[in-house]
A and B are shown apart, each in its own frame.
Chain A
Amino acid sequence: MLVMKSLAKAFYTDDIKTQALHPFDLTIQQGEFVSIIGPSGSGKTTFLNIAGLLETHSSGLYTLDGKDVAELSDKQKSAYRNEKIGFVFQSFNLIPELTLYDNVDMPLRYRRFNREQRHQRIMQALEQIGLATRKDHYPTQLSGGQQQRVAIARAIAGTPTVIFADEPTGNLDSKMAQGIMSLLKDINTSGTSVIMVTHDNTQATQANRVIQIKDGQLSEYSQSQQAIA
């Protein structure tokens, strides 16, 4: 599903080059639950942004579902992000002026689904996270854990093939964090790949594969006992 060969990312500020990610090879199969760990500033989020087509790589090859992403136009990348990818961010990134229903509706709008199709998917996603009865509430009326659940509902409403989660439990207490992890595992069990950036080793080991990034260098960390769904 996701193949990266000699992929690297460098930032340039004036004449100074900062190598955020050194060339690496990586393949992630459909249905895998992969954790990316590493200290702050190691390049975890940069990796996730490149993998999620939010940022371009500097060199190397990146194919997603067999397609070289460097060849995709902005419109095609947007369509990929909309149809194949779901994002979950550390700070939830919900629009506070929109209800839960409308927040989950956002990606479906860009998919050009009709009203009925959208409603069906929104309600299904909200029911999956257990907040269907609060669809008309606003994000500020929810706890952090609930807000992150809504963000997950928004990510899964379009039935993507992969979910990129950037520190999804970073702003939550341990109980709420465990709830989010369970939800992500459930989603993974249903066949959706999950690629999660975290600095928490305990959560990372709940994935069936862990990749470590240190100073921009990627390496396999360990193999968990969990079977690939």
Chain B
Amino acid sequence: MYPYYFKLALISLRKTPMLSLLMVMMIAIGIGATMTTYTVSYMMSKDPIPNKSAHLFQVQLDSMDEIYGDGKTLPTMISYQDAQALLDSDVPKYQVAIAAIQQRVSHEANRHLTPKSLKVRTTTSDFFSMFETPFLYGSGWSKQDGKDAAQIAVLSKETNSWLFNGENSVGKTFKLGADTYRVVGVLDSWDPLPKYYALPHTAFTKPHDLFIPFNTQVKNELFSQKLVSNYCWKKPDDESFSSLLTSECMWVIFWVELPSKKIHQQYQSFIDNHALVQQSLGRFQNRIYNKLVPLKQYLIDEEVVSDDSKMAVWLAALFLVVCLLNCMSLMIAKFHAKAGEVGLRRAIGASQQDIIKQFSIELSVVGTVGGLLGLLFAKIGLISAANTYSYLHSDLMQMNAPLIIGTVVLAVISSLTFGLYPIIRASQMQPSSQLKSL
């Protein structure tokens, strides 16, 4: 019967083209607006590394001698001296200290290439394994090279294209500030969304242009205040870089991968012991309160998906409801006009269920066309949003397959939900009263 109902649906829609168009447009506009905002919100909040997000934890230490915030939250950074102490642990599968600098980069041999000031991620060797970065050429640096503060780097694909025309640049050198660095690896396209490992306000920007060892930053005394969140609850002794390293200033982000509960417990003990030792040395005076924040919790705590974004989704959903209510009134008008046909079909043997099925198919067709058109509207909305907010990650404005399917399904379910009342009402009327209107 369903192919028959489908045929009847097409005939019915052709019979009232203007009404059908209005219904489709109502659904399409509502769906388009909702899915535009929902896509951005969904892409913001999706799990950036689903295969291991449950095992990634950010280390947060209360090294202060005062209450921070509401007493429950802690800074998302730790001090350099704590980072160095934690790096000595062999409990985590991987552990990564992260900071950032901005430096002038140039090609040693190619004088025609205009130097650029690039953002440089400084990190430890586990970074590439822990965050599963894909490599186009070479690899990350070894633990030893990291410890030795070697003048080596991993380039992003874009930086390699700019510096070395996209060729395999492993072994080649370039200038970072005044120093020469050797390329050990080139990343393939890698654009995690959100960029979970760094500061929350940079979650929807591209990864930095190149990566150098954390210790190399320290050795060369490189520091860019504007690229790190440096929380100095206690002033350093002086302005020097060495004072920064021994100070209580918190500017290093620290992540660990803990593959099991047992290892998690071991590592919690390790950082608590570290805090106790430090307490005996006069630090950590406030309390022993150290947290291993799971990645997903970190994204929630840091409000990577802003309340404004969530509010926009609710407002768009409300708009969809308004559109659907309008559509519902059109459907009531349509089914009122079709009362005679309903009466006739009931008279010749259609049950209430047959009528509901027939018109549900018609509504599904309206919903599907509305959904497809809504998809187009959402795409246009996302393109214009991408143009307006060009500094944001372009993937935020992309619908993936589940969202595309979800859009059409939502349109069909919405139109069925809101069209069900007029259909049921029409099917429950006495056929004799409807027959008069054919």
Contact = CB atoms under 8 A, between A and B. Distances in A.
Interface of A: 45, 49, 52, 54-56, 74-75, 78-79, 81-83, 87, 89, 91, 93, 95, 97-98, 106-107, 109-112, 154, 158
A174 B12 CA distance: 35
Q: Which 6 A-B pairs have the closest CB atoms?
A: A82-B349, A78-B351, A110-B349, A107-B348, A49-B432, A54-B432
B351 A54 contact: no
Interface residues of B, number: 24
A45 B431 CA distance: 13
Given A87-B347, A93-B340, A110 B354 contact: yes
Contact of A54 (B1, B11, B353, B430): B430
A109 B346 CA distance: 12
A45 B430 CA distance: 14
A82 B348 contact: yes
Contact of A93 (B15, B350, B435): B435
10 contacts: A45-B432, A54-B431, A56-B430, A78-B351, A91-B438, A93-B340, A106-B345, A107-B348, A110-B345, A110-B350
Nearest to B427: A74
B11 A111 contact: no
A45 B436 CA distance: 11
Contacts of A79: 349, 351
B1 A81 contact: no
B348 A110 contact: yes
Which of B348, B350, B354, B431 has the most A CB atoms < 10 Å from its CB? B348
B352 interface: yes
Nearest to B11: A97
A93 B438 contact: yes
B4 interface: yes
Interface in B351-406: 351-354
Q: Identify whether the interface residues of B are mostly helix, strand, loop, or mixed.
A: helix
Given A49-B432, A75-B353, A95-B341, A54 B347 contact: yes
Interface of B: 1, 4, 11-12, 14-15, 340-341, 344-354, 430-432, 435, 438
Contacts of A112: 1
B435 A89 contact: yes
Which of A98, A106, A111 has the most B CB atoms < 10 Å from its CB? A106
A18 to B, nearest CB: 15
A164 to B, nearest CB: 9
A78 B432 contact: no
Which of A78, A79, A83, A98 has the most B CB atoms < 10 Å from its CB? A78
A55 B430 contact: yes
Given A97-B12, A97-B14, A109-B4, 5 more contacts: A55-B430, A74-B352, A97-B15, A106-B348, A110-B351
Nearest to B354: A110
Contacts of A56: 430
B349 A81 contact: yes
Contacts of A83: 349
A171 to B, nearest CB: 13
Contact of A154 (B1, B346, B348, B431): B348
B313 to A, nearest CB: 41
A74 B351 contact: yes
A149 B349 CA distance: 20
Contacts of A74: 351-352
Contact of B350 (A45, A54, A78, A89): A78
A89 B432 CA distance: 11
B349 A107 contact: yes
A112 B1 CA distance: 8
A141 to B, nearest CB: 17
Which of B4, B340, B341, B347 has the most A CB atoms < 10 Å from its CB? B347
Which of A45, A75, A81, A98 has the most B CB atoms < 10 Å from its CB? A81
A155 to B, nearest CB: 8
Contacts of B348: 81-82, 87, 106-107, 110, 154
Contacts of B341: 95
Contact of A111 (B4, B340, B349, B438): B349
A112 B12 CA distance: 22
Contacts of A154: 348
Given A93-B344, A97-B15, A98-B11, A55 B432 contact: yes
Contacts of A75: 351-353
A82 B344 CA distance: 11
Nearest to A78: B351
Given A97-B11, A97-B15, A78 B435 contact: no
A106 B11 CA distance: 14
Nearest to B1: A109
Which of A56, A79, A82 has the most B CB atoms < 10 Å from its CB? A82
A106 B4 CA distance: 10
A52 B347 CA distance: 8
Contacts of A107: 348-349
A93 B431 CA distance: 13
B139 to A, nearest CB: 66
Contacts of A78: 346, 349-352, 354
